[in-house]
Structure 1
């Protein structure tokens, strides 16, 4: 029996029969994924996150992935500067949910693997086997500097990550062990309790370089990446599965991220997009992040720069899903048909936008057969969309 079969038999939501799995990304940080100064009721606090998570459970979503952040990026919004630490966030969400799969996100250089493995095992007990780990090497120099060190070189970072995850896996599966590597030396390693879920907590990673993709293929269950087109989505999924199987005799799935603006009419959807991205977008923090990623916008065409910057402002570079419920469902169905396992969604105003999405888009996905129907037990919520300051025409 393969590792994926064990996950499925154990009832892990990340391996259920839904062709398109859905989650959300970054509810623990201010602005979530939108680099905007638009007004919103969203706050990265416990009460808001609890309400979002319970609303997701009622609608049948599979997972939540938080963003690990130790300081903001600056700009007027100080994007992601206010945040809930991801291990304690996951423990708190575990205590107030019953079905949804939760991830913690760890910048591996900031947490010793023995500490991380023990915290995850503790959350595994609280959640009754619903915790996974998103592994991040750490790429923001100002964050790494806060911990008294400097950002590791790119390939060196993944060498460090490999040792880190190997220690965690041994802590979860072995009784007593010694480990000696370049970065870690463990004497008589031991941990109880071990995670209860079979075969272990789900591991995910979003490394996009050759070293990053090899790390994901060797150690993780899902590789996360951005979409450029449906053809690229198919090629990426095929190539990652081939890399994992040919190089490490392992299975791997793919997952992406998308930002959603869903309204009763196409005009209303684009009006709001234009408002929060083009009128209220935080251009200053976008410039900061472009510089961090070494993106030379001066060498690109104006059309490329506009699209690239807008996708970052709108949803951290995620796949754009803007339109009516039918148009939004069509774009999500296309992701499912590409072979990608699912997508994390982000909204500007979760509590005001997700209810409409859940009520009007989810049934269309069920009718299309990419998701199975769920029992909706809660009463319908009153839906009040966030408003733009003035009307803007559809482009």
Structure 2
């Protein structure tokens, strides 16, 4: 691999990642918990944090939900090294407003900010706000045009855009990034339109957790698509259960899986509000796993050595950003830092700074 392995975490924007009713992790998606979590992750050596964006809780509307962008601005002011990646659903923010917010957080962070474009799966979140929830492929057409405007504005260019969805006249934003061309751009989604968008406009493609051979095929597909500028890079989401022995890890997996089955009502609610065309849901349906966004489908359940070996295999396949999930989060995040990170030290030997955006 040309790039060192970067290891990040998912912020707990809507609490538990594997099972809601876990006696070892009471529900808590508060700002205070997330602040403490990210500060500790930075001290432990994690390289980035993804702050997913949901305006209402996607699992239950009576549960708390962290707001991504105000929280990311606050995290930018309180951290010193960790990259802060804020997800964004284009339908919720005009590109001019979002680009200005991104540049402000970029300034606050000193060049450690990134956006993660996701084209939305939760129909209820959009339609209940009185907005149009476009059909799957049109959401990617919309997102591509939205990102075109945002990218130019984040570069500090004067934008004149007359498109299908947006008309922008003589717009320039200052101050631009003082440290690089613009904030980094991550894109999620695995459908054919998503892959086209990644190849054309993303710096990094976030892939949902799934077996190694499937990840290799996805990487190969995007690498063969037309591309200008620097090659696209790849990230992977995975839920980690690591223990001294494989048997101990499997026992914990079975505990979480049993707890997750108690959330049948939540899963039914999520399914009812999910666009059936979303590729992520189709991928997840193939595997029994715990966690979100593919969870443990990537196979990161086992002894410390086994988990490190599996992560090394993903890195060799082209993954250079690994976004980890845990439960209970804080205790397992510390366990991973103590036992698995040292086993991956040779993959992380080059200092993992926030790279410059693609030219």
Inter-partner Cα distance in structure 1 for 2:10 and 2:166: 31
C-alpha deviation, 1:80, in angstroms: 10
Identify which of 172, 180, 194 aligns with 1:190: 172
Shift of 1:83: 1.7
Q: Specify the alignment match of 1:286 in structure 2.
A: 267
317-326 or 161-170, larger mean C-alpha shift: 317-326
Matched, 1:90 2:72: yes
- Please report how far the alpha carbon of residue 332 of structure 1 lies from its aligned counterpart in structure 2 after TM superposition: 1.2
Q: Aligned to 2:240, what secondary structure does the other structure show?
A: strand
Partner of 2:316: 337
In 2 relative to 1, CA 23–79 (structure 1 residues): closer, same or farther, beyond 3 Å?
farther
Of 329, 335, 340, the residue aligned with 1:356 is 335
1:142 to 124, 128, 133: 124
Higher mean alpha-carbon deviation, 129-138 vs 177-186, is at: 177-186
- Aligned partner of 2:161 in structure 1 is 179
CA displacement at 1:147 relative to structure 2: 2.6
Does residue 62 (structure 1) correspond to residue 47 (structure 2)? The answer is: yes
1:241 equivalent among 223, 230, 235: 223
Q: 1:26 to 1:57 in 2, by over 3 A?
A: closer
Q: Structure 1 residue 27 and structure 2 residue 8: aligned?
A: no
SS state at 1:215 partner: helix
Match of 1:8 in 2: none
Normalised by the length of structure 1, the TM-score is 0.79
Alignment of 1:14-53 (within 5 A): 17-18=3-4, 20-31=5-16, 33-39=17-23, 40=25, 43-53=28-38
Give yes or no for contact 1:233–1:339 (8 Å, CA) kept in 2. no
Q: Distance in 1 between the 2:95 and 2:2 partners? A: 29
- The number of residue pairs the alignment matches comes to 341
- TM normalised by structure 2 equals 0.87
**5+ long unaligned stretches in structure 2:** 352-359
- Cα distance change of structure 1 residues 116 and 47 upon mapping to structure 2, 3 Å threshold: same
For the 8 Å contact 1:73–1:285, the answer to whether it is kept is: no
Instruction: Choose which of 95, 106, 128 in structure 2 pairs with 1:124.
Output: 106
Q: Deviations over 1:154-173 (max 9, x none)?
A: 22111211221121122223
2:195 to 192, 195, 213: 213
C-alpha deviation, 1:228, in angstroms: 3.3
Which secondary structure state, in structure 1, belongs to the residue aligned with residue 139 of structure 2? helix
- CA distance in 1 between partners of 2:96 and 2:134 (Å): 20
The Cα shift of 1:119 comes to 0.7
**Cα distance, 1:22 vs structure 2:** 0.9
The 8 Å contact of residues 73 and 289 in structure 1, kept in 2 or not, is answered as yes
Name whichever of 182-191 and 235-244 sits farther off.
235-244
Separation of aligned partners in 2, 1:197 and 1:169: 16
Instruction: Classify the secondary structure of the residue corresponding to 1:182.
Output: coil
* Contact 1:28 1:89 survives alignment (8 Å): no
Change (3 A) 1:254 1:373: closer
Task: Find the counterpart in structure 1 of residue 293 from structure 2.
Answer: 316
Q: How far apart, in 2, do the equivalents of 1:54 and 1:137 lie?
A: 29
Structure 1: distance between partners of 2:146 and 2:62: 26
Name segments (4+ residues, structure 1) moved above 6 Å.
Answer: none
CA 1:79 to 1:63, structure 2 compared with 1: closer, same or farther past 3 Å?
farther
How much has 1:250 moved relative to structure 2? 4.6
Superposed CA RMSD = 2.6
Instruction: Write the distance in 2 (CA, Å) between the matches of 1:231 and 1:280.
Output: 26
What residue in structure 2 maps to residue 372 of structure 1?
349
Distance in 2 of aligned mates of 1:222 and 1:79 = 32
